[in-house]
Structure 1
Amino acid sequence: GRAVAPVPAWPTLVLGALPLARFGTRAQRAAFLPGVASGEVVLGAALVEPDADDPREPATAARRDGARWRLDGTKTCVPAAHLAARVLVPARTAAGAPGLFLVDPRGAGVRVERQTATNREPLGHLALAGADGEELPGGAAALAWLVERATVGLCAMQVGVTDRALRMTAEYTTGREQFGRPIASFQAVQQRAADAYIDTEAIRLTTWQAAWRLAADRPATTEVAIAKFWASEAAHRVVYAAQHLHGGIGVDVDYPLHRYYLWSKQIELTLGSGTRQLARLGADLAR
């Protein structure tokens, strides 16, 4: 997050390698994880659909074909789809249960079209028409497990994005002078920066809390939603303040700050905005 580097770390390590290591068969792990460790294999997951709001409730269908599965549906905004050796695709079986399936994005029955994200990252639009899929054991539980860790991974990246944007702002405002003094000495600038610092630390704290509970195999649904809420709402305030405190140079594409704003917005809206997280938390409280 701090470098806003367009490398496939999140899709490969979090979306692909983690669920393979946890739920994959011995043959599946042997086929892909050594290549991930050596840096030769890129993986990903297709968690977004145009007609389904919740990745745990996919509209994509999976039908059995002997020992394999055939998948039909559409996935959008798939990270690293043009590089991935395999993409984990959530789909619903005829029995109504969702599951995860390993799909070769260059295989028969798969069409990949390039998309460009808000942060200018290349993504893939996957059209599946009888695409060959290999089931990952675990079913709905594996899918829910993946979605929670994918969400916390986004929150962790947002920590880096906001931390670096805030540090850039501190450096700029202490060096930029107006009326014979650094603008960082003005009370209004200090207050705005202090609020951004509090928001950044709130993102960090809630992310660590959710990550710790997941690492300890404790229930973390509420903590993940809280972390994503802060990573969405608070991060927007941080990068917005950073843009304002930089003035005109903040939106100059020759200056790196604009990339942090775009990355923050992309992360904010991926796997549920702050509003969706509040709705989820409210529904849990109402039970």
Structure 2
Amino acid sequence: MDFTPTEEQAAARDLAARIFGDLSTHERLAAAGTGTDAELWKALCAAGLTGALEEIGLLGLVLLLEEQGRTTAQVPLAVSCVYGLLAVDRHGTKEQRARLLPALRDGTAVVTGAFPGHGSIRADGAGRLSGTAGWVPWLRDATHVLVPDAERNLWLVRAAEAETVPVETTAPWAAGRLVLDGTRGERLGDRGATDGRSAAGSVDGTAATERAAADRAVAGGAYEDVLVAARIAFAGLQAGVCAGALARAVDHTSVREQFGRPLSTRQAVQLRAADAHMDTEAIRVTVYEAAWRFDEGLPCVTHALTAGWWASEAGRRVVHTGQHLHGGIGADLEHPVHRHFLWGRQLDAYLGSGAQLLDELGSLLAEEAA
């Protein structure tokens, strides 16, 4: 097990950090409101970072999302890569990959997903979908939505052909409610099919490669595979959000003085910051392990749940600490640290509560033991 980034992963991470640092400023974030910063998204895609996913893998994507989280950059990087590029590349047919991947790589198409829930959407024999997904991130900026039906089949729906209702949330994620009323969807490949592609994404076509890819796939098919990747990716985004919140708190307490001494010299402040640092590192290492196992084709369902639990539970603690260490200005809705707080809480809600994740993890471990 080696989490050292490859040369390609490190180069992509450094480039992303530079772009986010240059363009994801407080002023631009405020101007973007709840939607996407179109110029920033265009810069990321033009730099080839979205198209690099097939080369850098999920672990490489996690590194990019960490950099996004540090600046709370307003771009649909996580959703379009996980629900679009990765899902189509791993589970789409040859024709679907040829038709959809180019637009996803250059950012002209953006896919989001009606995950993690399923069961509220039903499909008939003709591929018409009905039902409602109550909260879908980046829906207002998406061209397509990846929708799981009650049978856990995956369908791609054109956002323009469905009813999308804006959902006001505290975090600026351009969220919306997806309403399907006989909307026609395109089924993504066959359930659990790999269409002759290995876990790394290379085309082979031999029966041996198909069997090997199937053996490495997450048990249960494409839905579970995409869900695992999404949990890992969004937990990686949370690691970056926490790191950014903590960095802001450290900067603030180093210069803010109380009774003639910087706040950072106070033991209580140091202990809170140290605990937040350990929580952030716990999120990061569990995410790295889960992403590495995913890329290697190893079982990683429980590892993704573990990373999700740390991101939910520890992430909430860290962003609260970051805001608390700013004192009164931490409650200012216009202060940059407040965005980290909002993103951290939104990611906590999206990943699921710690109790929910532990319940699912416990059930899986009990099944394995039996």
Q: TM-score, normalised to structure 1's length?
A: 0.90
Q: CA deviation at 1:86?
A: 1.6
How far residue 78 of structure 1 moved from its aligned partner, in angstroms, is 1.5
Contact map agreement 2:84 2:104 (CA 8 A) in 1: no
Partner residue in 2 for 1:101: 155
* Deviates further, 35-44 or 202-211: 35-44
Distance 1:168 1:271 in 2: 24
1:32 corresponding residue in structure 2: 100
Partner SS, residue 276 of structure 1: helix
> Partner residue of 2:141?
83
Q: Shift of residue 138 of structure 1? A: 3.7
The offset of 1:170, in angstroms, is: 0.7
- Of stretches 24-33 and 188-197 in structure 1, the one that deviates more from structure 2 is 24-33
Report the counterpart of residue 51 of structure 1 in structure 2.
none
What's the secondary structure of 1:76's corresponding residue?
strand
CA distance in 2, matches of 1:71, 1:89: 9
Deviation string 1:98-139 (CA, Å, 9 cap, x unpaired) is 2001111212xx211111233132212111111101111242
Offset, 1:220: 0.7
**Would the aligned equivalents of 1:206 and 1:226 in 2 still touch at CA under 8 Å?**
yes
Amino acid at match of 2:142: A
Aligned-partner residue type, residue 77 of structure 1? W
More helix by share: 2
After TM superposition, the score normalised by the length of structure 2 is 0.71
CA deviation after TM superposition for structure 1 residue 11, in Å: 1.3
* Alpha-carbon distance in 2 for matches of 1:203, 1:224: 11
- 1:265 is displaced (CA, Å) by 0.4
* Letter paired with 1:47: F
Amino acid in the other structure paired with 1:62: A
- 1:116-265 correspondence runs (5 A): 116-139=168-191, 141-265=221-345
Contact in 2 for aligned 1:77/1:117 (Cα 8 Å): no
Shift of 1:254: 2.8
Deviation at 1:151, TM superposition (A): 0.7
Whole-Å Cα distance in 2 between the matches of residues 271 and 178 of structure 1?
Answer: 38
Q: Equivalent of 2:132, from 41, 61, 74?
A: 74
**What's 1:278 paired with?**
358
The answer on whether the counterparts of 2:120 and 2:133 sit within 8 Å (CA) in structure 1 is no
User: Which whole-Å CA distance do the structure 2 matches of 1:191 and 1:84 have between them?
Assistant: 42
- Alignment length (residue pairs): 271
Partner residue in 2 for 1:52: none
What's the CA shift for 1:271? 3.5
In structure 1, C-alpha distance between the alignment counterparts of 2:77 and 2:345, rounded to whole Å:
19
Q: Distance in 1 between matches of 2:92 and 2:164?
A: 25
User: Does the residue aligned with 1:27 lie in a helix, a strand or coil?
Assistant: helix
* Greater strand share, structure number: 1
Distance 1:285 1:31 in 2: 40
State how far apart, in whole Å, the 1-side matches of 2:365 and 2:145 are. 35
Aligned residue for 2:113?
45
Secondary structure (helix, strand or coil) at the match of 2:125 reads strand
Deviation at 1:82, TM superposition (A): 2.4
CA offsets 1:123-159 (integer angstroms, 9 cap, x no match): 1211111110111124250110000001111101001
Determine helix, strand or coil for the equivalent of 2:153.
strand
CA shift, 1:202, in A, is 0.5
Alignment-mate amino acid for residue 83 of structure 1:
D
The DSSP-based 3-state class of the residue aligned with 1:77 is strand
Q: Distance in 1 between matches of 2:327 and 2:79?
A: 34
Structure 2 unaligned residues grouped into runs of 5+: 1-68, 192-219
| Aligned partners of 1:118 and 1:265 also within 8 Å | no
* Deviation of the 1:226 alpha carbon: 0.7
Aligned to 2:9: none
Please list the CA deviations of residues 44-95 of structure 1 after superposition, one character each: whole Å capped at 9, or x if unmatched: 11125xxxxxx3x423111112xxx111111122122223222111013xxx
Report runs of 4+ in structure 1 exceeding 3 Å deviation. Answer: none
Could you tell me how far apart the structure 2 residues matched to 1:285 and 1:85 are?
38
